[in-house]
Amino acid sequence: MRLRRSVSTAAMASFLFSLTSVTNEVELRGLYQRQPNDVLLVFVSYGLFLNEGRLQAGFSADYRQADGSDLTTLGAFVNYHFPGRSPVLPFVGAFYGVSNGDGDGVMLRGVQGGAKYFVNRRVAATASLVYRDYDLEAARDQVFLLFGLATYFR
């Protein structure tokens, strides 16, 4: 059993190093909060790995329903990954986009960080902390802890 585990870890480490500019990622992350207010938040993103799997650029869309209002956001992101010898792939990144809800579009920017745990070569469980800053005095900055799944293909 111990031998299988070490072989699996070595295979996973070699996969992490093989993320190249032709590796695509599709990720679904979300959050549902019941108390104190009902909040539903769903993120969908597509990213392309560049620079031997360290740099990733892509697009994202998210939908938020809270306090009886709906909000949709479209934007672009850049993530920088820190590959190692384990199935965990930590990252930090930045986001810029536009959000619309009950009114006009609002520009927003943010930062994010987290980790991707590779279950196998094509699937990773994800956890990320996301901060969003809205260019609107009436809007509050937001911080989310999101969990999700990502799939990888070439």
pLDDT tens column, 57-67: 999 999 988 77
**In the predicted structure, residue 136 carries a pLDDT above the cut 90:** no
33: β partners: 39
Contact yes or no for 52/75 (Cβ under 8 A)? no
**In the predicted structure, residue 33 carries a pLDDT above the cut 50:** yes
Amino acid at 20: T
- What is the extent of the structural domain holding 52? 2-153
Q: pLDDT by residue (tens digit) across 85-101?
A: 889 999 999 999 998 86
Q: Domain of 27: which CATH number?
A: 2.40.160.20
What integer best gives the mean pLDDT of the chain? Answer: 84
Q: What's the confidence (pLDDT) of residue 139?
A: 62
Q: How many domains does the chain have?
A: 1
Half-sphere exposure of 2 toward its Cβ, with a 13 Å CA cutoff? Answer: 0
**In the predicted structure, residue 55 carries a pLDDT above the cut 50:** yes
Mean pLDDT score, 100-125: 88
Q: How far apart are CA 96 and CA 52, in angstroms?
A: 24
